[in-house]
């Protein structure tokens, strides 16, 4: 296999880059996949090399060839200046935020953020003297009024967690940059395949790699990609904080990355079919999916995104929790569990009234978040059809 330069790699399509990024079979005896390096201690050839840190690797926590292969593949995919690997999606969020915030700083955090991110802000960052202000995801240019002299970071999520509001990422990023703030984005839902974070003004792009990168519900993993401006601080904090990922989990993430393109397209196609079917059901008030025409965020999604994934939510007709449980408890193909992005379909009832502060959430009925996996759509629809019949009967 001919060695490919980085400049040449940039000319290839996304799926080609997913397959070949970070692979150098000539360096590991022709094997297609890089070996998994288990190790902490790295031996130096001489005292001088040891003390001057001249070898490429110095200690297992500071990287190994397995990590390098995945980091290079991810850089190739999103066009970032650098990538760090973290042991979970939340670890990636905390690493990104702490790389650009210090005591006395002010953070603008989108109100629809992933709930553990909110807990990080309220329980951890606050102890370090970092103040968080939550803002409406639909604020757009109005974000300027919330910026202060000490606002050092603006955090976005597009679409919003659970309720799928779309943000004007380039518009907000432009205003934030004019005020000297770093722009962070949780890009887990779309991945770099469907949203070019750096092309839309983001400085730090975060993914819970547990989801679509790993893709098989068998490893915890997170990643932060940085622009050239944000990379030095991210790299420094990541190393100083001792963040590292077990080599077997890195390998699972790399294995998942190779097929993410085909999986994500299938998730997209199946989810849209299921969402459109649900939108016609009388038991469903609304489907929250920005790729659907008529969704409030569809115009921004169509302008900025190249695709959608398998995750969306529905608002059911008013009903007691017993009816929601009747709908969900006997589903055959939709497991009841947290996370998403794996090959399997999932369903999760939620009510975010208690963890919104800048906005109110009153949808008029119980909500369920759905992740459409890789099962046959006809089977999934049949399962939901039976579940909605149970919901209707229990609702009375």
Q: Where are the alpha helices (DSSP H) in the chain?
A: 6-9, 14-20, 47-52, 65-78, 89-98, 115-119, 169-178, 191-194, 231-240, 247-258, 260-279, 298-304, 321-329, 377-395
Measure the CA–CA gap between 388 and 283, rounded to whole angstroms: 7
End-to-end Cα distance, the chain: 65
123 catalytic? Reply is no
356 catalytic? Reply is no
Closest C-alpha among 391, 353, 365, 266 to residue 313 = 365
Closest C-alpha among 108, 72, 81 to residue 203 = 81
114 catalytic? Reply is yes
Measure the CA–CA gap between 192 and 207, rounded to whole angstroms: 9
Residue from 75, 152, 211, 369 carrying the catalytic annotation: 211
Measure the CA–CA gap between 266 and 283, rounded to whole angstroms: 26
Three-state DSSP at 258 gives helix
Residue from 49, 56, 59, 61 carrying the catalytic annotation: 61
Identify the DSSP state of 173.
Answer: H
Contact in structure between 201 and 174 (CB atoms under 8 Å): yes
Residue from 78, 105, 168, 186 carrying the catalytic annotation: 186
61 catalytic? Reply is yes
Residue from 37, 114, 135, 355 carrying the catalytic annotation: 114
Backbone angles phi, psi at 3, to 5 degrees: -70, 135
Catalytic residues: 61, 114, 186, 211
């Amino acid at each position: 296999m001919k060695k490919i330069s980085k400049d040449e790699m940039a000319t290839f399509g996304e799926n080609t880059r997913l397959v070949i990024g970070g692979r150098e079979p000539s360096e590991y005896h022709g094997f297609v996949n890089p070996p998994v390096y288990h190790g902490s201690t790295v031996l130096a050839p001489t005292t001088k090399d040891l003390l001057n840190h001249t070898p490429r690797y110095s200690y297992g926590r500071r990287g190994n060839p397995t990590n390098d292969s995945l980091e290079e593949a991810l850089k190739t995919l999103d066009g970032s200046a650098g990538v760090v690997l973290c042991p979970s999606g939340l670890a990636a969020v905390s690493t990104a935020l702490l790389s650009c915030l210090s005591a006395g700083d002010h953070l603008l955090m989108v109100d629809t953020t992933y709930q553990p991110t909110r807990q990080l802000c309220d329980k951890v960052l606050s102890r370090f003297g970092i103040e968080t202000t939550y803002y409406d995801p639909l604020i757009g240019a109005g974000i300027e009024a919330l910026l202060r002299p000490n606002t050092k970071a603006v955090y976005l999520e597009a679409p919003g967690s659970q309720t799928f509001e779309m943000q004007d990422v380039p518009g907000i990023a432009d205003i934030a940059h004019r005020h000297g703030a770093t722009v962070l984005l949780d890009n887990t839902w779309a991945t770099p395949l469907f949203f070019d974070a750096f092309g839309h003004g983001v400085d730090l792009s975060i993914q819970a790699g547990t989801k679509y990168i790993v893709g098989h519900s068998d490893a915890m993993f997170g990643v932060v990609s940085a622009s050239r401006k944000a990379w030095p601080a991210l790299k420094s904090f990541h190393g100083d904080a001792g963040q590292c990922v077990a080599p077997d989990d890195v390998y699972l993430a790399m294995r998942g990355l190779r097929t993410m393109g085909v999986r994500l397209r299938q998730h997209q196609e199946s989810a849209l079919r299921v969402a459109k079917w649900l939108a016609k059901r009388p038991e469903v008030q609304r489907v929250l999916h920005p790729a659907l025409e008529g969704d409030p965020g569809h115009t921004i999604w169509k302008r900025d995104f190249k695709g959608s994934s398998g995750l969306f939510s529905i608002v059911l007709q008013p009903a007691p929790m017993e009816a929601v449980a009747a709908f969900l408890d006997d589903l055959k193909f939709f497991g009841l569990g947290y996370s998403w992005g794996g090959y399997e379909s999932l369903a999760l009832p939620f009510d975010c009234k208690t963890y919104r502060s800048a906005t109110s959430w009153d949808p008029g009925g119980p909500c369920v978040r759905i992740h459409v996996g890789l099962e046959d759509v006809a089977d999934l629809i049949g399962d939901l059809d039976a579940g909605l019949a149970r919901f209707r009967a229990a609702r009375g």
